[in-house]
């Protein structure tokens, strides 16, 4: 009668949502200030003034059809031109408007890429820990998600494990750096090594293997960490970018795909992206927000709150006795649980109203995710509770 898979996706709540809703219930019982909700990756930094001003100015002073009307499917040409110029300035690339396809955020961008590329039996590789929606998105287009086990020492790539999982069916490799949930940034060495292996595998299997670089956290990289621009290291790269996190605009749904000229069969890949967007009824990215980000393309992101929160939480967790890789970017930490069963650990943390997400949900059991895009005071108040929780395990 109905599509069972869709029913399950629509009615089975994600663990993150369930924890978040539990937090809302607890806040009503014990007060907002007594709940330490590290569950959601919803940016807490206010949307920049320059974005708000641009939105108001465009709303009030532009042709209504430009603001509220359909745009061409790839997006407003002037906005794409502005983005191409901005990216070229930053990364020394040579893009034009024709290399950009505007989307409703990164979720749409990556799903459009999956749909554009997937043929029967195709495999899409991701590295644990990974953004849980990848599975739903890849499977929705008939692909198979293949997960490379994690490398917890530094959350870079376990290349030996990776090489064994690349097959003749591999269509693309999903790279997410800065990473949700590990907070790690892939080094230039990691990206170069990945590119070398993929070039070798492309030769062996006689077909392109794409990198889909999912980059909603690109701007949130901390001092000492540079996020390599993947197309500079590997030709068959599709970049999926978003303003959800960098400009705190997750509800406005705005981002883009970059298809570099160097991609094998550029015209076919770009055309297929347009086709995928069409059948996914994407129509066009929100017109107003295309204009806003076109105007603000060169503006910086304010990441100072995430720097402060990350350091505070990291130090507090280390002092309490947790094992954790230093924050490098995004706004997540992914520490080791104090018992093997991450669900049991997160359940125990609830006793202190510490709301943590089990690592199993990210393909990495035994760890938990802390989203620190929350008030700094909440983190400060949570630290003695993490200490108490850790002390329980020392008894
Ligand atoms: N990819 C990753 C790794 C994410 O963490 C998220 C959102 O949390 C997305 C994609 C989706 O972002 P957007 O809001 O741009 O669709």
Ligand 1 atom with the smallest distance to the CA of 131 is 3
pLDDT digits (tens, 9 = 90+) for 116-171: 999 999 999 999 999 999 999 999 999 999 999 999 999 999 999 999 999 999 99
Strand partners, 210: 172
The token pair at 229 is 């621009």
Cα–Cα nearest to 180, from 144, 151, 212, 214? 214
4-48+302-394 to CATH, choices 3.60.110.10, 3.40.50.2300, 3.90.550.10, 3.90.1150.10 = 3.90.1150.10
Name every residue whose Cβ is closer than 8 Å to that of residue 23 and which is 6 or more positions away in sequence: 35, 37, 39, 355
pLDDT-derived band at 12, boundaries 50, 70, 90:
confident
In terms of DSSP bridges, do strands 255-258 and 237-242 run parallel, antiparallel, or are they unpaired? antiparallel
Cα-to-centroid distance, 106 and ligand 1 (Å): 5
List the structure tokens of 200. 């070798």
DSSP of 21-43, one letter per residue?
HHHHHHHHHH-GGG-EE------
- Is 90 exceeded by the pLDDT of residue 97? yes
Q: Which of 63-67, 195-199, 290-294, 379-383 has the lowest mean pLDDT?
A: 63-67
Q: What 3-state DSSP class applies to 51? A: helix
Q: What is the pLDDT of residue 315?
A: 98
Cβ 259 vs Cβ 266: under 8 Å: yes
Residues whose CB is less than 8 angstroms from the CB of residue 209 and which lie 6 or more positions away in sequence, other chains included: 166, 170, 171, 172, 173, 198, 201, 202, 236
Pair 113, 212: CB distance under 8 Å: yes
DSSP-assigned beta bridge partners for residue 101: 257
235-268 tens-digit pLDDT: 999 999 999 999 999 999 999 999 999 999 999 9
244 lines ligand 1 (CB under 6 A): yes
d(CA 174, ligand 1 centre) in Å: 13
Distance from residue 41's CA to the centre of ligand 1 (Å): 9
Measure 75 CA to ligand 1 centroid, in angstroms: 20
142: preceding bond cis by omega (within 30 degrees):
no
Three-state DSSP state, 3: coil
Centroid of ligand 1 to alpha carbon of 321 (angstroms): 31
Q: Which of 15-29, 67-81, 92-106, 217-231 has the lowest average pLDDT?
A: 15-29
Domain ranges in the chain with CATH number 3.90.1150.10: 4-48+302-394
* Ligand 1 contact via 250 beta carbon (within 6 Å): yes
Give yes or no for residue 41 CB within 6 A of ligand 1.
yes
Nearest atom within ligand 1 for CA of residue 250: 14
Place of tokens 């917890």: 152
| Residue 240 Cβ < 6 Å to ligand 1 | no
| DSSP characters over 127-166 | ESS--THHHHHHHHTT-EEEEEPP-TTTSS--HHHHHHH-
* CB distance 106 to ligand 1 below 6 Å: yes
- In ligand 1, which atom is closest to the CA atom of 109? 16
- What is the C-alpha separation between 68 and 64, in angstroms, rounded? 6
Question: Could you tell me if the CB of 107 is within 6 A of ligand 1?
Answer: yes
Question: Counting every residue, how long is the chain?
Answer: 395
In the predicted structure, residue 395 carries a pLDDT above the cut 90: no
For residues 308 and 276, what is the distance between their CA atoms, to the nearest angstrom? Answer: 40
Residues of the chain with CATH 3.40.640.10: 71-296
Whether pLDDT at 14 is above 90: no
Residue 383: other Cβ atoms inside 10 A: 17
| Helix (H), strand (E) at residue 237 | strand 237-242
CA distances from 84 to 189, 222, 314, 320, 341 (A): 26, 24, 36, 46, 47
Output phi, psi for 74, to 5 deg: -70, -15
**Would the CB of 180 count as within 6 Å of ligand 1?**
yes
Instruction: Determine the Cα–Cα distance for residues 335 and 55; give it in Å rounded to an integer.
Output: 39
**Contact assessment for residue 155 and residue 306, using Cβ atoms and an 8 Å cutoff:** no
* Band of residue 50 on the pLDDT scale cut at 50, 70, 90: very high
Determine the average pLDDT of the residues in 64-87. 97
> What pLDDT, on the 0 to 100 scale, is given for residue 325?
97
CATH of 71-296, one of 1.10.357.10, 3.40.50.300, 3.40.640.10, 3.50.30.20: 3.40.640.10
Strand, helix or coil for residue 302: coil
Q: Is 214 in the pocket of ligand 1 (CB under 6 A)?
A: yes
The CA distance from 93 to 83, in Å, is 12
């Amino acid at each position: 009668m109905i599509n069972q898979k869709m029913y399950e996706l629509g009615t089975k709540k994600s663990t993150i949502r369930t924890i978040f809703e539990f937090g809302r219930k607890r806040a009503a019982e014990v007060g907002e200030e007594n709940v330490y909700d590290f569950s959601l990756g919803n940016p807490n930094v206010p949307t920049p003034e320059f974005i708000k001003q641009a939105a108001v100015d465009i709303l009030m002073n532009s042709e209504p059809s430009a603001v509220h009307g359909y745009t061409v499917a790839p997006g407003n040409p002037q906005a794409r031109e502005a983005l191409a110029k901005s990216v070229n300035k930053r990364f020394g690339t040579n893009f034009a408007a024709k290399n950009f396809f505007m989307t409703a955020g990164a979720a749409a961008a990556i799903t459009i890429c999956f749909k554009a590329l997937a043929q029967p039996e195709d495999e899409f590789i991701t590295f644990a820990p990974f953004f849980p929606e990848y599975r739903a998105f890849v499977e929705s287009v008939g692909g198979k998600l293949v997960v490379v086990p994690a490398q917890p020492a530094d959350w870079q790539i376990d290349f030996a494990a990776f090489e064994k999982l690349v097959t003749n069916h591999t269509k693309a490799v999903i790279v997410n750096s800065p990473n949700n949930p590990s907070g790690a940034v892939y080094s230039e060495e990691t990206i170069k090594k990945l590119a070398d292996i993929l070039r070798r595998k492309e030769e062996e299997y006689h077909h392109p293997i794409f990198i889909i670089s999912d980059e909603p956290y690109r701007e949130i990289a901390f001092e000492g960490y540079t996020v390599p621009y993947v197309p500079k290291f590997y030709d068959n790269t599709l970049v999926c970018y978003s303003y959800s996190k960098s400009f705190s605009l997750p509800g406005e749904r705005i981002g883009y795909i970059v298809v570099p000229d160097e991609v094998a069969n550029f015209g076919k890949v770009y055309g297929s992206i347009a086709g995928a967007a069409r059948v996914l009824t994407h129509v066009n990215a929100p017109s107003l927000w295309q204009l806003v980000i076109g105007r603000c393309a060169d503006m910086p992101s304010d990441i100072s709150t995430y720097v402060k929160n990350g350091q505070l939480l990291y130090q507090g967790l280390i002092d309490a006795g947790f094992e954790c890789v230093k924050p490098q970017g995004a706004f997540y930490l992914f520490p080791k649980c104090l018992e093997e069963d991450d669900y049991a650990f997160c359940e125990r943390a609830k006793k202190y109203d510490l709301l943590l997400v089990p690592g199993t949900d990210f393909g990495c059991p035994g760890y938990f995710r802390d989203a620190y895009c929350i008030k700094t005071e909440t983190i400060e108040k949570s630290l003695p509770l993490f200490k108490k929780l850790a002390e329980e395990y020392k008894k």
